[in-house]
Chain A
Amino acid sequence: QKEVEQNSGPLSVPEGAIASLNCTYSDRGSQSFFWYRQYSGKSPELIMSIYSNGDKEDGRFTAQLNKASQYVSLLIRDSQPSDSATYLCAGGPNSGGSNYKLTFGKGTLLTVNP
């Protein structure tokens, strides 16, 4: 059974701080990883993807992947109240198969306090 585990949270940080969201996965064959943001009552929105070891930065967001430790993280710098949402981590195998699908974690609720 492929699993993606996330800190259940909730995680609360003050405005302007760095929020750190973590995710571990069980399937060593996973190659592609994604972070989604989901506001209450809305659908998940893709915010970051990462495919190789190391860091990937996009604005205030940095995704980190360590395949040896089977660990993915998302850092949000200068957190804003508008970042308050549930963050979903997802992983998938090598592309190419017609039955490709992602395994999602259950999400971490982040609250940024003004």
Chain B
Amino acid sequence: DVKVTQSSRYLVKRTGEKVFLECVQDMDHENMFWYRQDPGLGLRLIYFSYDVKMKEKGDIPEGYSVSREKKERFSLILESASTNQTSMYLCASRGDRDEQYFGPGTRLTVT
């Protein structure tokens, strides 16, 4: 079974803090993704990566950065958290037939 794990299920941070969200997959997948999900807006792609140290902007990259130093790990960084970044953050990896497998999600609250 594919397993995608995320470092935290719930996180509360203060405005202006630097926030790290980590994602690990155990299937040697090349492509990994970070989404945020908000009511009424659906899943929105923040960044994705197709190889170590390679990254591409998604639809809403502003205020975020990413890091992929190892194939199995993809990190999302909020450089200076703001209240409008309160959301559910979902990591996914791409399987052999283009399907995506999601981690359990991190519900981030910025106060």
Seen from chain A, the residues whose Cβ lies within 8 Å of a Cβ on chain B are 32, 34, 36, 42-46, 49, 51, 88, 90, 92, 95, 98-102, 104-107
Contacts and interface: CB of A to CB of B under 8 A. Distances in A.
**Could you tell me the dominant secondary structure of chain B's interface residues?**
strand
**Could you tell me the dominant secondary structure of chain A's interface residues?**
loop
A66 to B, nearest CB: 19
A32 B40 contact: no
B74 interface: no
B43 A100 contact: no
Contact of B43 (A34, A49, A88, A95): A88
Interface residues of B, number: 25
Contacts of A98: 30-31, 50-51, 54
Nearest to A94: B98
B66 interface: no
Interface string B78-111: 0000000000001000100111111111000000
Contact of B97 (A32, A42, A44, A104): A32
B45 A42 contact: no
A43 B43 contact: no
Contacts of B102: 36, 43-45
A34 B99 contact: yes
Contact of B41 (A34, A42, A92, A106): A106
Contacts of A88: 42-43
A104 B90 CA distance: 13
B33 A42 contact: no
A98 B30 CA distance: 9
B58 A101 contact: yes
A97 to B, nearest CB: 9
A23 B42 CA distance: 14
Contacts of A49: 97, 99
B48 to A, nearest CB: 6
Given A43-B102, A45-B102, A49-B99, A101 B43 contact: no
A76 B31 CA distance: 31
A23 B72 CA distance: 33
